[in-house]
Chain A
Amino acid sequence: MGTFLDRRTIVLAGILGAVSVVAANSWMNAPTGFTLDSSGRVVAVDPVGVIFNKAMPLEAAHMLVAAYLVGGFMIASVYAGAMLRGRRDRYHRLGFVIAFTVAAVATPVQMGVGDALARWVYNDQPEKFAAIELVPQTSSDVPETLLGKLNSNGTVQGGIPIPGLASWLSDPATGKSTVVKGIDSVPAGDRPTVSEVNIVHLSWDIMVGLGTLLFLLSLWYGLTWALRRRMPTNRAFLTLAAASGLLSVIAMEAGWVVTEVGRQPWIVYGYMKVEDAATANTGVWITFIAVTVLYLALGVTAILVLRGMSRRFRRAGGFNDVESPYGPPASPAAEPQVEEATR
């Protein structure tokens, strides 16, 4: 019972915590559940309406799946790195398989959730969608432009256009004739700037591109299991798997850039602009620099300390006789590693 409470409540608290945090962000995208008086002060709040805003279900689902995806790939990439260096014993295989399987299952789910979320953005935040798809003017038969950029004169330069795909993806029922609203569909003062549009578009390409790559990697893994009843162990797969943790983090962060920069100039969509929400304190730069310097220093120190711990750990006999946090138990189970490492 104790263990049950420990573990299940951590999972539950993690999920509820993540959903709550994302609910706050999705409220910024689809603010509901409050009443303003004539001077713009909040006079009444309906917390249920705030939390269960229209953007929340899909945004929360997207982040939750992303968390499992990133967590899985991150853990798996550590074991993949160790396997590349020759530690292919049962302990490392298990560590890899458990984590990578979670991520591999999450990846196609994420593509489905992401597709649904993009359609929500198409309907409810047209200028964000226009930035994502690089659509300056409202039109039908809009191409899906890979890379490329928007010029300040409102034309799209470079990139690889796939004819009609953006329209088709926005609403498969109407296909290529689906009208996609352009950035010109909102008043000039409420538009994202050209560079913001380009950041959103590039981040979108990075997120979808890396997501697709991770999906193909998951497919490779899944097919190998299906056909050979074992995980792929060749260097190409392991190298990609070792990079998958970092790649998934980049994909996730790119996704956050899409949703945050894509909402510009608003901080609360349709109600409050970033410039009106920002502090008037001019010392913000000092704080920003101080925080950055402190965390850089702590980050570097953390790496140095961890390296020092790892050195001592090896000198003390490695897996042989020292228990490490989250590591394998010190005694019998550790034997295979030693064999492998000394081979």
Chain B
Amino acid sequence: MSDTVAVVLLLALTTYAVFGGADFGAGLWDLIAGGPEQGRRPRELIEHSLGPVWEANHVWLIFVFVVTWTAFSEAYASIMLTLFVPLTIAALGIVLRGASFAFRKSVVSLRNRRLFGAAFAASSVLVPYCMGAVAGGIASGRVPAGGTAGDPVDSWINPTSVVTGVLAVTSVAYLAAVYLVWEARRDDDAEMADYFRRRAVVSAVAVAVVGAVGMVVLHSDAPYVFDGMTGRALPVVIVGVAFGLGALVLLARDASRAARVLAVLAQAGIVLAWGVAQWPYLLPESLSVSAAAAPSGTLRVLIVNVVLAVLIVLPAFVLLYVLAQRRLLPEEGVPDAADRVADRPAD
């Protein structure tokens, strides 16, 4: 039963990496889009593509936390006590990001828009880095079992964490760029499609380089996960890489819709490969899934809840995504009201 919950946990984490990841990546492209005039069009595209769904994606993160502390409390306690610094930065970053994004839509002056835009974009980079660093700390066995604290510094400032942090940032950038190509295509905006296509290629190369460096680092710093990646998880890795390359080929051929699907699968591959590689451990080589599991009564109710959530919440989520994809959701913010103010002659 604990295996089932662990698989659910991994799938939820993957979903967050895919949907939340695209949001964060869009923030990164916002950050490096250049000055107000130069970056205006990419930023507009980013803003209206993120619009209505951006808040909903954190549901997956909350789900991951709830499942972890309910089903694997010992692992949760260890992770929280050890990695509280990057986790706190990530939490504050998520709050700042969401608030800034909302505020930016509600202010008119350029100075304020830039201020909130910068806060939004900077936290969009900081959060995935911290999340990646947390994953690296866990993967490299720096989180001790027993619900005890490990080294609060070395656990997230170490070779594996740096690589996984950078990998998280580059991979969400890649994913977002592919998404944005598709968004631009639907607007018949060839210039923006081209803009993000170039960025998708560059970030794909970056992901490949970081991934390769990552394997070298894992070899010496996280041998258990390295062995897993080159053994049990190798098929996942290969399929993931193939999807990532395939997405680029499709982008080059201007099949942006299919490219998006492959990019999502490639991103999912990274997280799934990590999970498969460190199986059966939650905390490699010190705490296994079954050893960390809560009493069966708790797990049973948790699984029932997951099934209910799938039946009740998932259709709503799918509807939300579909409506967002078809652009049937109302735009947020006040640009219209602001425009009216601007259009109105001074009284």
Interface residues of A (CB under 8 A from B): 42-47, 279-281, 283, 287, 290-291, 294-295, 298, 301-302, 305, 308-309, 312-313, 315-316, 321-322
Which B residues between 211 and 248 are near A, CB-CB below 8 angstroms?
none
Contact between B92 and A312, CB atoms less than 8 A apart: no
Contact between B92 and A316, CB atoms less than 8 A apart: no
Total contacts A-B at CB 8 Å: 64
Taking chain B's interface residues, is the majority helix, strand, or loop, or is none over half, making it mixed? helix
Residues of B within 8 A of A309 (CB): 106, 334
Contact between A281 and B149, CB atoms less than 8 A apart: yes
Residues of B within 8 A of A322 (CB): 337, 340
Across the two chains, which residue of chain A brings its CB closest to B340? Answer: A316
A326 to chain B, nearest CB (A): 13
Of A281, A298, A316, most B-chain CB atoms within 10 Å: A316
Residues of A within 8 A of B295 (CB): 42-45
Q: Show 24 residue pairs from A and B whose CB-CB distance is below 8 angstroms, ordered by the A residue.
A: A42-B294, A43-B295, A45-B295, A45-B297, A47-B297, A47-B300, A279-B81, A281-B81, A283-B85, A283-B152, A287-B84, A287-B88, A290-B88, A294-B95, A305-B106, A308-B108, A309-B334, A312-B108, A312-B338, A312-B341, A315-B344, A316-B341, A316-B344, A321-B340
Residues of A within 8 A of B157 (CB): none
Residues of B within 8 A of A280 (CB): 81, 149
Contact between B344 and A308, CB atoms less than 8 A apart: no
Contact between B107 and A46, CB atoms less than 8 A apart: no
For the A-B complex with A46-B297, A280-B81, A321-B340 known, give 7 more contacts whose Cβ atoms are closer than 8 Å.
A44-B295, A47-B300, A302-B99, A305-B103, A308-B106, A313-B337, A322-B340
Q: Per a CB cutoff under 8 Å, which of A44, A294, A295, A305 touches B107?
A: A305
Which B residues between 64 and 86 are near A, CB-CB below 8 angstroms?
81, 84-85
Residues of B within 8 A of A45 (CB): 294-295, 297-298
B114 to chain A, nearest CB (A): 14
Q: How far, in angstroms, from A315 to B108 measured CA to CA in the complex?
A: 13
Across the two chains, which residue of chain B brings its CB closest to A282? Answer: B152
Residues of B within 8 A of A313 (CB): 337
Q: How far, in angstroms, from A315 to B342 measured CA to CA in the complex?
A: 10
Of B84, B106, B107, B337, most A-chain CB atoms within 10 Å: B337
Across the two chains, which residue of chain B brings its CB closest to A306? Answer: B106
Taking chain A's interface residues, is the majority helix, strand, or loop, or is none over half, making it mixed? helix
B197 to chain A, nearest CB (A): 36
Contact between A290 and B92, CB atoms less than 8 A apart: yes
With an 8 Å Cβ cutoff, the count of chain B residues facing the other chain is 27
Q: How far, in angstroms, from A298 to B296 measured CA to CA in the complex?
A: 42
Across the two chains, which residue of chain B brings its CB closest to A46? Answer: B297
Across the two chains, which residue of chain B brings its CB closest to A324? Answer: B337
Q: Is B301 an interface residue (CB 8 A)?
A: yes
A40 to chain B, nearest CB (A): 13
Residues of A within 8 A of B95 (CB): 294-295, 298
B33 to chain A, nearest CB (A): 23
B174 to chain A, nearest CB (A): 30
Residues of A within 8 A of B108 (CB): 308, 312
Task: Give per-residue flags for B332-347: 1 if the beta carbon is below 8 A from chain A beta carbons, else 0.
Answer: 0010011011001000
Q: How far, in angstroms, from A280 to B96 measured CA to CA in the complex?
A: 27
Instruction: Return the 10 tightest CB-CB contacts between A and B, nearest first.
Output: A45-B297, A47-B301, A45-B295, A45-B298, A298-B99, A44-B295, A305-B106, A316-B341, A316-B340, A287-B88
Contact between B92 and A47, CB atoms less than 8 A apart: no
Residues of B within 8 A of A43 (CB): 295
B268 to chain A, nearest CB (A): 29
Residues of B within 8 A of A42 (CB): 294-295
A306 to chain B, nearest CB (A): 8
Residues of A within 8 A of B296 (CB): 44
Across the two chains, which residue of chain A brings its CB closest to B343? Answer: A316
A41 to chain B, nearest CB (A): 10
Residues of B within 8 A of A308 (CB): 106-108
Residues of B within 8 A of A305 (CB): 103, 106-107
Contact between B341 and A281, CB atoms less than 8 A apart: no
Q: Per a CB cutoff under 8 Å, which of B92, B103, B338 touches A294?
A: B92
Of B95, B96, B341, most A-chain CB atoms within 10 Å: B341
Contact between B334 and A312, CB atoms less than 8 A apart: yes
B322 to chain A, nearest CB (A): 15
Contact between A44 and B84, CB atoms less than 8 A apart: no
Residues of A within 8 A of B81 (CB): 279-281
Q: How far, in angstroms, from A295 to B96 measured CA to CA in the complex?
A: 9
B296 to chain A, nearest CB (A): 8
Contact between B103 and A47, CB atoms less than 8 A apart: no
Contact between A315 and B92, CB atoms less than 8 A apart: no
Q: How far, in angstroms, from A279 to B78 measured CA to CA in the complex?
A: 11
Residues of B within 8 A of A298 (CB): 95-96, 99
Residues of A within 8 A of B298 (CB): 45, 47
Q: How far, in angstroms, from A281 to B153 measured CA to CA in the complex?
A: 13
Contact between B103 and A301, CB atoms less than 8 A apart: yes
Contact between A291 and B337, CB atoms less than 8 A apart: no
Task: Give per-residue flags for B88-110: 1 if the beta carbon is below 8 A from chain A beta carbons, else 0.
Answer: 10001001100100010011100
